Structures are given as structure tokens and as C-alpha cells.
Amino acid sequence: MTILIDNKTKVKESLQPKGFLRYFSFSLDHKVIGIQYLVCGFLFYLVGGTLASAIRIELISPLSDFLPRDVYNQVLTLHGTIMIFLWIVPVVNGAFGNYLIPFYVGARDMAFPRLNAVAFWLIPPSGLMLIASYFIEGAAQSGWTAYPPLSITTPQSGQIIWILSVLLLGGSSIFGGINFIVTILKLRRPGLKLMNLPMYCWAMLGTSILVVLSTPVLAGTLILLSFDIVAHTGFFNPALGGNVVVYQHLFWFYSHPAVYIMVLPAFGLVSEILPIHCRKPLFGYTTMVFSIMGIVVLGLVVWAHHMFTSGTPPWMRLFFTIATAFIAVPTGIKFFNWVATMWGGKISLNSAMLFSCGFIINFVFGGITGVALAQVPFDIHVHDTYFVVAHFHYIVYGGSVFVIFSSIYHWYPKVVGKILNENLGYLHFALTFIGFNLCFAPQHWLGLNGMPRRVAEYDPQFQFVNQISSIGALLMAISTIPFLINIFISFKKGKIAGNNPWNGLTPEWLTTSPPPVENWEGEAPLVNEPYGYGKDYLSCK
């Protein structure tokens, strides 16, 4: 079977452009698609980061003097949508998933290479469409949640373009999810058992299940919303007999799992990075697998904790509070597993490891505020304040984005063949970590004292803390500069990495750097112990 497919792939590959141009082509190679996802996502990250800087500049003073109020609303909507749908989701799933999963299962490509390329090429046009909507009557103004009736009453064209672009991105996400599930379950190298797979495969399997089950619900909801906007039906319009809470239920049925779609792959990536740089096996492999699957199941039944102030009946509040608190159990298991992996290990504190440690610290902090927010009395107090903003930035930035940077430092030698400069990496980490905590930790205080989110103006008593937060944002903006310099300089003049600079045992390190088109010159290696560090056969080539 393999021979037949391989010949086909070879023929396809010979028709593809070579060299740098292939990154702009409809390439079917999973490695090229992974890089396309990463670079495209990073460009959108720069756009979203610029928007975030605009928000923080606006919030230096209590009055809306930098941006007009409606532009501020557009900027925060675009910032949220771009960062979620065009940066974190495509990068933690699409980029690293496409690059690594075929290596991990011992395949030469994903199950459906063409579908894979289609899934990627849906992203740039929809992202550009979303940004372009700003220049046509203004972008959407209703936040990334697009709650009606606000999304129905604000200018239409921006909101409709927002819906179309999120639908396309959702489609891309579903295609990717189908590809990952089939690849992980069916394309495994003969002899490789599910329970011997590297942890990232399990994380991607769980994520893809969430993507396939929840994204279509968002798509259906947005179709109904577009009917409300264009055809003036009344699904979510109380004036026409509709029900806004139904929208919130359907929206959060996707958007709560979306948090796990953003953070589960990050869990998987950290579980790959920690054992290599600590020279110890991953602690508690089986519990890790079960906690991922537990998060998948629980993640689907906690959505209404975003709606405690939406007239939710008491039984629902009770159920969703308990279910949400339960999620802390598998997440806590994973946290202790990572700490136990590091415990007593021979830790090399390089940039990849620093970012992973930063992730663990930030994520625990975000997790604790998450458990607090799950409690109804507390949530009612801080709902829609900066406390929530601080909480989810600790999860998605302190969690996912830190892991993305950690992974870039970790896998850059494999992809490019050269090691990133460590000193610039330390600088990048220090700026990011200090800037991030300076930016978001004070926002907990702002939220507890009642500063509402998504408003361009605020009470003058909050000015000093907001200025501290803005300084943190400035540091975060500056932190991209050493990173970009590092990427380009190391690309030209970096130290040659060799095939296995970290002495890793997972399959992607057992091929050349950069890997050949078909991943391995000969047969794919059978890796039954991807984390067998500290054992006799440690000496790997």
C-alpha cells in the first residue's frame, strides 16, 4: 500500500515548484503547509499586535482621545478575531500539527494532502477580507463574540464580512480536524500502538474531536445571525420575538471548546519540549492521555459558565459551576505531570525551556483565576470587567502564545537546520515575560474594582494602573523585535544544528534537518518509547 501511495506522492511532488517559491504554491507537502500556516499566522499576529498596541495607547488616558469610540470598537473586534482565528488556532493546530503529526505517526504525509492545502489556502483570503472590511464602511464593532442585538444594530457590511470570514476560517478548521483524526487513527506506521504515540498526537486527536463537534454549531449560528442582519428575520432579535440567549448558548457551545482548541495542542507541545530539555521521560503518560480526553468531554459541557449574568436559571448555574470546577482536575493533573517531569531532571535552561517554564507559571495563574470565575457569586461581580480580560489573556497569551514561541525555538533547528541565537532568545523571553505580566496582572485589580471591558473611556481613578499595563504592552511589542532579528540572522548565519541538536528521541529528530520531501530516506523508524530518556540507548545519532 505504502509503495503505491508513495509513487503517487512522488509524482505529485515532482510537479510542485522548488525552493522558496513552494511556500507560495498550492503545495501538498505537509511540511510546506505547516510553514505556510506558521508564517501566515505570524503575519496576522503582527497585525493583531499592532491593534492591541492601539488599544493600550488609547487606554493611557481616561478619555477617548487617540481613537474615536466606534473605531476603538472596531479595533478591539478585529484584535480578538485576528488573534483567535488567524493566529492561535491556525498556528497551534495547523502549523505544528501539519509539521509534526506525520513524523509522529510514521507517515510520509497527512491522510488527505489536497484537503490540507485547501484548508490552509482558505485562511489568507478570509483574513485579508476581514482586515479589508475596516476600509469599507468600517469593520464589525460587536467584539469577537458578535452578541446580538448589538451585532444586528451596528453597521451591516462589516458584520457580514466578519461572519463570512469566520465561516471560512471555521471550514478551514474543520477540514484540518478531519485530516488530523484520520491521520492519527489510520496512518500510523505498522507496529506503532496508540499508547506509544508522542503526547502531541493525543492532544491533536482531542482537539480535532472538539473542532469537528463544535465548529459546525458556530457556523450554523452565524448563518442564522446573517439572516437576522440581511433578511430581518428575528432569531436573535427580541423586538421580533427572538431570543438573544439562544445565540449565546450556541455561540459558547463552540467558543468555550475553542479555548481548549487553542490550549490543548499547546499542552501537547509542552509535553514534547519538557522531556527533551529535562532529559527525563514524560511523567504520567497514561494519566496525561486520560486527562486530555477528560478535558475534551468536560469541555463540551461547560459553555454556560460564560452566561451566568444572562438570566441563566439556578439549576443551570449549579450544573455549569460544578462541571467547570471539575475541569480543574485533569488540568491540574497535567500541571503536576509537567512539574514532576522537570523534578530532578538535568534541565538545560535554553530559550525553548524558558518559554515552557513561563507557560507553566502563567497558565497556573490563569487557571486559578478560571476556577474563581467559575463560581457564580464571584463571576457576577467581575463579569464583563478587566478581570475576565486578564484571565483569558493569561490562558491564551501566557498559555498558548508562550508555547508557540517555545516551539519555534525548539523546532527551528529541525525546520531550517540552524540553531536560533540563545542570547537574543533570552532577551526575547525576558521582554515577553516581564511585559506580559506587567500588562495583564494589574488588570485583575482593575476588574475587581469594576472597570468594564470593551469601553474606550474609563474612570480617572484607574489611570495609573492602566498606564502600568500600557508600559507592559509596550515591552511586549518591543519583544517581537529581537525575535524577528533572531529568525532572520540565524537563518543566514546561525550555528549548524545537525540532525538532532537536542538529542531527542521523538521521530522527527531521527531524520535529516531539514527533512527530505518524503520525511525519511528509507523506512520510517519505529519509535515505541518516544520519551525513553535516561536509559541505556540514550546515545542517538
Partner 1 sequence: MTILNNSDEIKKSEIELINHHEDYRIFGLIIFLIADGMTFAGFFAAYLTYKAVNPLPEGSIYELELAIPTLNTILLLVSSATFHKAGKALVNQKNDISQKWLLVTASLGITFLICQLYEYFNLPFGLTDNLFASTFYALTGFHGLHVTLGTLMILIISWQTRINGGRISYKNMFPLEAVELYWHFVDGIWVILFIILYLY
Is residue 316 at the binding interface for partner 1, with CB under 8 A as the rule? no
Taking the least distance from each CB to partner 1, the nearer of 177 and 530 is 177
Among 220, 498, 516, 534, which residue interacts with partner 1 (rule: CB under 8 A)?
220
Taking the least distance from each CB to partner 1, the nearer of 15 and 231 is 231
Taking the least distance from each CB to partner 1, the nearer of 55 and 181 is 181
Residues numbered 253-282 forming contacts with partner 1, rule: CB under 8 A? 253
Q: Any idea which residue has 467584539 for its cell?
A: 143
User: Coil, strand, or helix at residue 385?
Assistant: strand
Among 174, 205, 352, 524, which residue interacts with partner 1 (rule: CB under 8 A)?
174
Among 19, 190, 241, 344, which residue interacts with partner 1 (rule: CB under 8 A)?
241
Q: Which three cell numbers stand for residue 140?
A: 464589525
Taking the least distance from each CB to partner 1, the nearer of 5 and 540 is 5
Is residue 216 at the binding interface for partner 1, with CB under 8 A as the rule? yes
Taking the least distance from each CB to partner 1, the nearer of 202 and 254 is 254
Helical spans, DSSP H, in 122-240: 123-132, 150-153, 156-186, 199-230
DSSP 11-27: HHHHTS--GGGGGGS--
Q: Any idea which residue has 515575560 for its cell?
A: 433
Min separation Cβ 303 and partner 1, Å: 12
Min separation Cβ 118 and partner 1, Å: 13
Which part of the chain contacts partner 1 (CB under 8 A), choosing from 20-28, 217-225, 363-371, 481-489? 217-225
Is residue 306 at the binding interface for partner 1, with CB under 8 A as the rule? no
Is residue 115 at the binding interface for partner 1, with CB under 8 A as the rule? yes
- C-beta separation of 408 from 490 below 8 A: no
Among 227, 335, 336, 378, which residue interacts with partner 1 (rule: CB under 8 A)?
227
Taking the least distance from each CB to partner 1, the nearer of 197 and 497 is 197
Query: Who contacts 490 (Cβ-Cβ below 8 Å, separation ≥6)?
Result: 412, 416, 418, 419, 420, 421
Min separation Cβ 326 and partner 1, Å: 23
The radius of gyration of the chain's CA atoms, rounded to the nearest angstrom, is 23
CB atoms within 10 A of CB 228: 20
Residues numbered 407-426 forming contacts with partner 1, rule: CB under 8 A? none
Among 32, 52, 67, 187, which residue interacts with partner 1 (rule: CB under 8 A)?
187
Is residue 4 at the binding interface for partner 1, with CB under 8 A as the rule? yes
User: Coil, strand, or helix at residue 419?
Assistant: strand
Amino acid at 17: P
Min separation Cβ 217 and partner 1, Å: 4
How far apart CA 111 and CA 130 sit, in angstroms, is 30
Taking the least distance from each CB to partner 1, the nearer of 101 and 408 is 101
Taking the least distance from each CB to partner 1, the nearer of 178 and 404 is 178
Among 21, 39, 63, 240, which residue interacts with partner 1 (rule: CB under 8 A)?
240
Among 18, 186, 381, 535, which residue interacts with partner 1 (rule: CB under 8 A)?
186
Taking the least distance from each CB to partner 1, the nearer of 217 and 505 is 217
- C-beta separation of 27 from 421 below 8 A: no
How far apart CA 30 and CA 109 sit, in angstroms, is 6
Among 177, 268, 294, 482, which residue interacts with partner 1 (rule: CB under 8 A)?
177
Among 11, 15, 231, 239, which residue interacts with partner 1 (rule: CB under 8 A)?
231
Q: How many residues bind partner 1 (CB under 8 A)?
A: 40
Is residue 239 at the binding interface for partner 1, with CB under 8 A as the rule? no
How far apart CA 88 and CA 394 sit, in angstroms, is 14
Is residue 534 at the binding interface for partner 1, with CB under 8 A as the rule? no
- C-beta separation of 295 from 361 below 8 A: no
- C-beta separation of 481 from 470 below 8 A: no
Cα atoms in the 13 Å half-sphere on the side-chain side of 314 = 0
- C-beta separation of 531 from 281 below 8 A: yes
Q: What are phi and psi of 473, to 5 degrees?
A: -60, -40
How far apart CA 228 and CA 92 sit, in angstroms, is 33
- Using the 8-state DSSP alphabet, how is residue 401 labeled? I
Among 18, 69, 114, 232, which residue interacts with partner 1 (rule: CB under 8 A)?
232
- C-beta separation of 197 from 183 below 8 A: no
Which part of the chain contacts partner 1 (CB under 8 A), choosing from 215-223, 426-434, 481-489, 500-508? 215-223
Query: Who contacts 478 (Cβ-Cβ below 8 Å, separation ≥6)?
Result: 431, 435
Helix (H) or strand (E) run with residue 132 in it: helix 123-132
User: Coil, strand, or helix at residue 59?
Assistant: coil
Is residue 233 at the binding interface for partner 1, with CB under 8 A as the rule? yes
Which part of the chain contacts partner 1 (CB under 8 A), choosing from 179-187, 367-375, 391-399, 461-469? 179-187
Residues numbered 83-112 forming contacts with partner 1, rule: CB under 8 A? 111-112
Residue ranges that bind partner 1, judged by CB under 8 A: 1, 4-5, 111-112, 115, 174, 177-179, 181-182, 185-187, 212-217, 219-221, 223-224, 227, 231-235, 240-243, 246, 249-250, 253
